[in-house]
Structures are given as C-alpha cells and as structure tokens.
Chain A
Amino acid sequence: MATPTLTMIPSGYKAEKVYSVLPTNGDGDFTFDRNSPGTRVNKDGLIEQVATDVPRLDYSDGSCPSLLLEPTSTNLAGYSEDFSQGWSAGNSTVTTNQTTSPGGDLTADKFIPTNTNQPRVERAFTVPATNTTFTFSVFVKKISTPYVAIALFDGSDNIDAIFNLDTKAVVSSSSEDASIKEMNNGWFRISMTQTVLSTDTDNIWKILNSNGSSAFVGVIGEETFIWGAQLEELPYLSSYIPTPTNSSASRSAETFSNDFSSQPTVANTNTVVLKFIPMGFSTDFYELLRFSDGTNEIALEGFQTNNYDVYGSGLVGGGMTAGSLSLNAGSINTISFSYSGTSLRFSHNGSTIAINTPTGNLPTITEVSHSVGGLSPIKILDLRVYNDFKTQEELNTLTTI
C-alpha cells in the first residue's frame, strides 16, 4: 500500500507544536495554541494541568493517547473540589479530604446520607436569560453503595439520571442525555445534560445518594466519594476545569493547523483515514477537522444529534454520507473517504457507508486544520492522508478498528 503523504499519531509535541510522523522533513507538523492551561488524563490515569500552548495528549480512552482539541468552556461551579463550601448538604453530611482524588491528591470528599428523603449535595445557579443547555458532571467513587444520581430542579420539576457504579451504566434518565465514564482507581465521571428555560424559576443541580429505583430516595449510611463538580453551558461534557475558589473558571479554545503542500503530486485525488472520538457538538455544521488545498475545503462536521458528515467544496448539499454516519459521543471510530475527480467512497469501522459522485473537483489536500470557523471538540488518535484513490475494499480494511 502507498505511503501516506501525512501521518499524525499523537506522540511528539512541545509548546505550540504537534509533530507528524510523515513527512519526516517537518512540513506536516502542526502549529498549536491554547491561551490558558487545560487538564488532561496522563498516562498514569491521573488528571493533571497542562500549561498554556502545550498540546494535551489524553489517556482517558486507553493506553494510546489522543490529541484533545476543545472549544472554550467555563465551569460555573466554584469550589469544584470542596463540597463544604459553596454547596449545601441536605439530609446528608460531607466530610472533606477523605481519599485520593482523580488528580492524585487527598482532596476527595465523603458524602454520607443521613435521611432517606433526597439525601443530596446541591448548588443553585442563576437562571439563564435565554433557554440554555447545561451539562453537569462530577467524579464519584463507590464506598458502599453503587447508586448515585444527578438531578436538576427547575422550580417545578426534577429531572434526573441514576447511575450504577458496579455495572458502569446509566440505570435510568429523564434528562436529555446522561453518561458514565470509568476513570482510574475506581473513579467514574458521571454527567447529565438538560436545557433550563428562561421561564424556569430555579436552576438547582444536585448530587444524590439513590436506592437505585428513585433518584430521590436514598439509603442512610450508604456512602460515596465525590470530587470535581462541573457545570458548563454546553450540550456535551468537556474536560475538567478546576475551580479552587468560589469563582467560575474558563479554559481557552484550542486550534491547530498545518501545511504540507510540498508533498502531493496527483491533483484532486486523496484518501483520508481518521481514527477519532467525537465528543458532541453545540451547533450544526461546527467543524471537527478541515481538509483544504488553501482555497477549497471539505470538513468533518456535526449535524443534528449524533449525525456526522463531510461537507464542502465539490459535494452535494447532503455531503459525503447523506446522513448515514451516526456516531455516539465518546466512542472510538475510524472513518475513511477516498476520491478521484469523478468517484468518491466512504467507509466507517470496516463497512461501506457511501459511494457517490462529486459534483465538482474536490481539493487536493495540503492543509489540515482545526482552527477556522465554529469548532466542535474532537480527540484524534490517528490521522493519515494519502495522495491516491483507494478501492472500497482497501478503505474497509483501513477502517477496521
């Protein structure tokens, strides 16, 4: 099989730079920036802070790191690691600094129900001026009970999600979305997404002990460790933003881009193979990655819930896959598309997704970027660009995870 003109497997980096494996002369290296520090899961499974402009190679999805690229976000929940300040304990007690946190220090708190009626730690936030979708998350670790819940009280209704830390599953949810992700050392990050209306009277988010059947009925004495709460105005979960005081805190957006125009020779002919993790998106058509010749471009974008596609120059309005690529946030996927002047093929995880005809010339890819326009988050595990047109069988082989 031909050698890629560009190969980027996240490994080598320094401040403002992500190195590509190919080309070896450095032409394919990426320029990177992020105004503020950010956090990542390091190879020891611990959450750590990474300095301004240093790329985040994140190990939260296994032993192979991914390059984490996120838009800006703000954690509105102050005292994210201290539930004795800024938070209210109802029918429960909180004892601070009881065990090692996901960050590796002794800052995780113990949450102890003292009554079966809605034992909780909660915090009230300002009701938004316009309808706003929030995602609330917290790290939890089992002591005695596997059940923990998140809920939102909007002034008239409780919306909730119950999680089982033994089965590592969402037991039930009345929210727009809920997720559970296993971390290191028995920790899980649980989250719930829900829209708060401007007409709601409350915006109160709760962490609850649950009996497993109801989010609002707990079991006295069934304890849980909690740490790292986060409330953000996003319809998806982003990386952890610590708030050591009662103030909110923001992480800056990340951008990266390269130019390897010294490499390609065959015009309007390319194959892209991308192993990645979509992480949700806030706005239709916000880009995950752009592939360009400097003038014309095509881009991997989100469109409506869980639906992804490649749109852009030389394609019909429905893009490459015409709605046939539905991906769950947080899942590892490999996609590949290949085209010559008159033919286009698309593969996902070893299966054919689309075979169609471009409406015009597709770009000869010489630039890859996550820097222009509205952006959606992505974790890149492996990116390769070939300057050739491959068979569908070859594509399906390349996308077999």
Chain B
Amino acid sequence: MGLHIGKYRFNSKEQAESKIEGLGIAQDENGNNYPTHKHTVTKLGYEVLEEAVYDEEEVISETIFGDGYLVDVLWRDLEADENEEIDHPYGWKSYEVDINNEGIHGFLGLKYQDLKF
C-alpha cells in the first residue's frame, strides 16, 4: 500500500471535475455515477480570498472567492514510471500546489508534509 497526498488548484470547477472523471468513472443501472478508482478525492471548492465577516448574525462583508478551484487527493497505489519514480497521474502535476504547511484541509490521521510528492 502506497499513499501520497496531492493538493491542486484548477482553473475552474468544470476543469477539476473533468480531471476527476478522468481518473475513472462508471454509471450504475440507475444512472448514478461512481468512481472506479481507489483514490480519495475531496473537492474544497473555489478558493476563499477573504472570509465573510459577521456582527452577530448580520453579514458585514460577504466571502470573496478566487478563480481557483481547490481539490485534495489521497492517492493510493500509484504506479511507478520507467524510472521507478511515483508521480502525479498524467495531467495533474501542472495544477499541483506545493505548500509548506498542512493547508486548509487534511486527511484524518495523515500528514500532507509526510506524504506529498
């Protein structure tokens, strides 16, 4: 069992969903889509540039979102390339965000800094 954690910033939600579908998706007889891969994909949504500000229950200023759509992935058992190195799946690496802390989201009991590429 090999685990890696990747953090990604895509240009749009549609692009992120296209990349996620590219990992493998099927449809059951009832029309429900489901992943055919074993990775754990968490959509974090559009990046928040500024959090909303409240005074009691009054909204003083709304959340300001950026253009980037954030996705965290807990990769499982990625195949090594011809150089015996494990890297992001094809088409993902250029959207990787490499940060020096754990970020705004994590996977229970696992450290991004220990498992990042």
A and B bind: yes
B105 touches A250 (CB 8 A): yes
B74 touches A36 (CB 8 A): yes
A253 to B109 CA separation, bound complex (whole angstroms): 14
B103 touches A35 (CB 8 A): no
B105 touches A249 (CB 8 A): yes
- Complex interface bits, A224-254 against B, C-beta within 8 A gives 1, otherwise 0: 0000000000000000011001011111110
For chain B, residues 59 to 86, give those with C-beta under 8 angstroms from any C-beta of chain A: 59, 63, 72, 74, 76
Is A283 an interface position by the 8 A CB rule? Answer: yes
B107 touches A124 (CB 8 A): no
Instruction: List the B residue with the shortest CB-CB distance to A127.
Output: B63
* A: contact size bracket: 35 or more
The count of A-to-B residue pairs whose CB atoms sit within 8 angstroms is 102
A249 touches B57 (CB 8 A): no
Residues of B close to A250: CB separation below 8 A: 40, 42, 72, 74, 105-108
A252 touches B34 (CB 8 A): no
Is B49 an interface position by the 8 A CB rule? Answer: no
Q: Chain B CB within 10 Å — which of A35, A124, A126, A251 has the most?
A: A35
Q: Chain B CB within 10 Å — which of A242, A247, A250, A372 has the most?
A: A250
Is B97 an interface position by the 8 A CB rule? Answer: no
Q: A129-B45, A155-B59, A245-B102 known; A37 and B32 CB under 8 Å?
A: no
A249 touches B108 (CB 8 A): yes
For chain B, residues 21 to 62, give those with C-beta under 8 angstroms from any C-beta of chain A: 26, 28, 30, 32-34, 38-40, 42, 44-46, 48, 52, 54, 56-57, 59
A153 to B45 CA separation, bound complex (whole angstroms): 22
Q: A52-B3, A124-B52 known; A36 and B57 CB under 8 Å?
A: no
Residues of A close to B38: CB separation below 8 A: 33, 35, 255
CB distance from A351 to the nearest CB of B (A): 28
Residues of B close to A245: CB separation below 8 A: 102, 106
Chosen A-B contacts, 9 in total, with CB atoms closer than 8 Å, are A35-B39, A35-B74, A37-B108, A74-B42, A127-B63, A204-B57, A247-B102, A285-B32, A373-B26
